[in-house]
Amino acid sequence: MTDKNLGPAVIERDVYIKRVFDDHLLKTDTYRRIEPTEAAEILTTIKTKVDQFTKRPSLKSYQNMRRNSSSDPSRRTRKSPPST
């Protein structure tokens, strides 16, 4: 076993893989096996949510936003009268 910042550790690959399964992936209280179709549905849902979150508005939608906000009287600013 190692802890953070204690340096590198060396372990044989096959021992590491067995430990990953035994200590983590085969624990049914933490993980469950899913069918490929369910995995594909989950991936599609996640991709859609990430795309929606990271989607930048297009120039056209930005222009529409600006146009709509400038036609809203509550958003207009008054010009200050000229100073004398």
What does the domain layout of the chain look like in residue ranges?
13-65
- pLDDT tens readout for residues 10-20: 899 999 999 99
What pTM was computed for the model? 0.43
| Residues 44, 40: Cα–Cα separation, whole Å | 6
Q: What is the pLDDT of residue 26?
A: 92
